[in-house]
Structure 1
Amino acid sequence: MNKNVAYIFQVILAVICFSLPSMAQEQKLLRVGIVAPDDGTLSLLGTQLRAGFYIHEQQFIDNPPTFEFVEEAEICEPEAGADIAYSLEEARVDVVVGFFCVESLSAALPVLQQINVPVININIRSDIVRDEAARLDLPLFSLAPRASDQAKFASRYIIDNWGDKSVALIEDGTISNRELADAIRLQLDDGGFQPIVLDNFRPGQEKQFGLVRRLGQSKITHVFVGGSRLDTSIMARDAASIGLEFTFAGGDALRAADEGLKLPNGTIAILPDIKMSGDNAIAARAAFDSAGIFPDRFPILGYATAEIMNQLAQVNDDDLSESLKSTEFKTIIGPVTFNQFGERQESVFNAMIWQDGRFVEEVSN
């Protein structure tokens, strides 16, 4: 062999051998599909979810990226769900975050199941959707709690803290609030506790004197309301005006904005307690401040989901659904683990009490 040729061959071989370790260490970027509405009433939540991802990206912009994401606009119609899933397949995504609507999520899951692409959802609580996903082994993973989890926590709270009180359980007749009240009633019954009053009321009334008088005549002191924040505020105002004092409690509806009438101090809400509490909480809070974004529930969940994507990318497992079930993820909302049915195993509900314009964590008796 010609000496020059042999030398060149040796150089090329050395370069190849030197490159092999770095080539082996190269990591394929995880492709994440983010599905959220970009118009309509849910568009704000989609914007907040994406903001959480953006803040995470900016905080770690000097680090080598582990994932990249593609966005897909969500249309909240059954026929749109499958189309969204096919678009995600064409984009070659590995995992999906989002889907804010039951209709589109339910239609997309069977398609994504066929291509083994898991979905991490952050807001849909429907027991029906979750049970169906578990029954059909659909690749759904939920950061949001189940609707029934709220009823379980509320009933436990009532038994533990109001067990020696005269309790009323009332609801406004809407489907969601009636289901919540019925679920709480059944849980209370299983726990051996019976409310003194089970009643309903007409929502959206300017006054609720008839209702609060009935409660007063029954010697009620504590009221769980399946109803809106405004209706609860009206009850509290009308009761106080005729010398009645009740302790009110309710669910997520109490976290709405004031509509000209404030909640009284001491009102209790059973809420998902989403707050920054993990190891990276201080740095994340500074990143939110720097971006000028208030760390509300959905931006925090967006950031936490980005953390999960970062860690999932480093697991380097072809079966991401199995990786999601077997990994404990460290996030700013604390540890996140999923069971075999894709349900988050950590409890997220807490009893919050309204004090001076905000809900704060209550210390139970």
Structure 2
Amino acid sequence: MHRVVTLAVAVFAALFIYPARAEVLIGVAGPMTGKLAWTGTQLKRGAEVAVADINAAGGVLGQQVRLITVDDFCDPEQAVVAARKLVADGVVFVVGHYCSGASIPASKVYEAAGVLQISPSSTNPMLTEQGRATVFRVCSRDDAQGFEAGNFLADNWGDRKIAILHDNTTYGKGLADETRKQLSKRGVTESVYQDYAPGKDDYSAEIAALQAADIAVLYVGGYHTEVALMARAARDRGYSFQLISGDDTATEAFELIAGPAAEGTLFTFVHDPRRNPEAAHVVERFRAENFEPDSWTLHSYGAAQTWAQAVGKAGSLEPQAVIASLRGNQFDTVLGRIDFDDKGDLTTQSWVWYVWRGGEYVPVE
């Protein structure tokens, strides 16, 4: 009788006290509201479709995956709050964050909890330079992007007046500083280097000052909302100059805000994964739902896809096993074949020049 009671207690504990995990929880974190909500939607949709495809293929280790979405407002403090919520909810992995200024503080929370993080889009070098084992990203870094931008400015406008503006965010100032650093190495000194206040509705005063200084080319380290408003302000003044920015300009929202003033804007972005053969079927699915997977949508999909493959190769959800799998394998994704170095960065860093032309961004030929 004693053995029967003991067995019954064990069964009760297994079923109710220590229930088997019925599903695997993962998170996606980004600016779901506010001025960057358009981009947050891209991250969310990419992760949602990736999870749907993972589940349709049997899930991970035979378990279905459920996605939890949190809003970090692209704000460092809110990012920590969002990260803590995901940890409390029991996620084992996070697609995110979008902004470097959100990813960096959130990464400390994830590391302490043993939660893996793969950012689709945070490009500031500090994210992986911190040495946190739980951090990876499927995008290139701003030191490589700034190197490309600095050389481009020196090669094409080295004898003209160059202005560099930034928004004082981790992303914007970091990118501007990397660009300025490479420009200086090429023996070129910009005529203007200063910050601007993000979040304003009008930047005509800043543009008027650049026009008075006879600036020929403006490089902006910042987000697409303000860059688009600067483009509009210049067009309204009849001020013709070359506007150049970074990867956040790769979104339909830029053209929607800038309107005709978007035409001719140059920027760096990673190779557009919509052009990858490996992504064709996924792109078709998005477009069938009247959703254009521009910007970082497919990087969000690729982050979740990479994690699922790493879990499969590890045969475990245990963090150290998945980390070892991420570092020790290559992964075939919508982004192409990728692998990571010891810091959690892609082993190959590359940036491509694009131009806004006819309502879309296309590679510079």
193 and 321 in structure 1: CA distance in 2 versus 1, 3 angstrom threshold: same
Partner of 2:64: 68
Alpha-carbon contact 1:268-1:352 (below 8 Å) kept: yes
> Any stretches of 5+ residues in structure 1 without a counterpart?
1-27
For residue 362 of structure 1, report the CA deviation from its aligned partner. 0.5
The superposition leaves residues 216-274 of structure 1 with CA deviations (integer Å, 9 ceiling, x where unpaired) of xxxx544434462221342355354xxxx533322246452444653263321123444
5 Å-filtered alignment, 1:1-80, equals 31=24, 33-36=26-29, 40-41=33-34, 45=39, 47-56=41-50, 63-66=57-60, 68-74=64-70, 76-78=78-80
The residue matched to 1:301 in structure 2 has which SS? Answer: helix
Partner of 1:299: 297
Q: Distance in 1 between matches of 2:83 and 2:56?
A: 36
For residue 333 of structure 1, report the CA deviation from its aligned partner. 1.7
Partner of 2:234: 235
For residue 354 of structure 1, report the CA deviation from its aligned partner. 1.9
Partner of 1:342: 344
Partner of 1:87: 89
Alpha-carbon contact 1:170-1:199 (below 8 Å) kept: yes
The alignment covers a number of residue pairs equal to 316
Q: Distance in 1 between matches of 2:53 and 2:86?
A: 30
For residue 210 of structure 1, report the CA deviation from its aligned partner. 4.3
The superposition leaves residues 91-125 of structure 1 with CA deviations (integer Å, 9 ceiling, x where unpaired) of 6x3x4433453376234223233xxx422122333
5 Å-filtered alignment, 1:71-220, equals 71-74=67-70, 76-78=78-80, 81-82=83-84, 84-88=86-90, 93=92, 95-100=93-98, 101-102=102-103, 105-113=106-114, 117-132=115-130, 134=131, 137-163=132-158, 165-171=159-165, 174-175=168-169, 177-190=172-185, 192-195=186-189, 197-200=191-194, 204-206=202-204, 208-215=207-214
* Aligned-pair identity (%): 19
Q: Distance in 2 between matches of 1:144 and 1:354?
A: 21
Q: Runs in 1 of length 4+ with deviation above 6 angstroms?
A: none
The superposition leaves residues 6-62 of structure 1 with CA deviations (integer Å, 9 ceiling, x where unpaired) of xxxxxxxxxxxxxxxxxxxxxx99935124369633666555434334434555776
TM-score by length of 1: 0.72
The residue matched to 1:109 in structure 2 has which SS? Answer: helix
239 and 196 in structure 1: CA distance in 2 versus 1, 3 angstrom threshold: farther
Alpha-carbon contact 2:107-2:117 (below 8 Å) kept: no
Alpha-carbon contact 2:327-2:339 (below 8 Å) kept: yes
Alpha-carbon contact 1:173-1:201 (below 8 Å) kept: yes
Partner of 1:314: 312
For residue 183 of structure 1, report the CA deviation from its aligned partner. 2.6
Q: Distance in 2 between matches of 1:39 and 1:355?
A: 28
> Any stretches of 5+ residues in structure 2 without a counterpart?
1-20, 73-77
Partner of 1:326: 328
Letter in 2 for 1:68: Q
Q: Distance in 2 between matches of 1:343 and 1:301?
A: 14
TM-score by length of 2: 0.72
The residue matched to 1:340 in structure 2 has which SS? Answer: coil
118 and 271 in structure 1: CA distance in 2 versus 1, 3 angstrom threshold: same
Between 337-346 and 141-150, report the one with greater CA deviation.
Answer: 141-150
For residue 338 of structure 1, report the CA deviation from its aligned partner. 0.9
The residue matched to 1:297 in structure 2 has which SS? Answer: coil
Alpha-carbon contact 1:167-1:222 (below 8 Å) kept: yes
The residue matched to 2:325 in structure 1 has which SS? Answer: helix
- Whichever of the two has the greater Rg, that structure is 1
Q: Distance in 1 between matches of 2:113 and 2:179?
A: 35
Alpha-carbon contact 1:328-1:335 (below 8 Å) kept: yes
The superposition leaves residues 161-210 of structure 1 with CA deviations (integer Å, 9 ceiling, x where unpaired) of 445x42412315645544433332221222x3313523448673435444
5 Å-filtered alignment, 1:265-280, equals 265-280=263-278
Letter in 2 for 1:110: E
Partner of 1:17: none
How much is the aligned-residue C-alpha RMSD, in angstroms? 3.5
Q: Distance in 2 between matches of 1:73 and 1:264?
A: 31
Partner of 2:260: 262
279 and 264 in structure 1: CA distance in 2 versus 1, 3 angstrom threshold: closer
Letter in 1 for 2:210: L
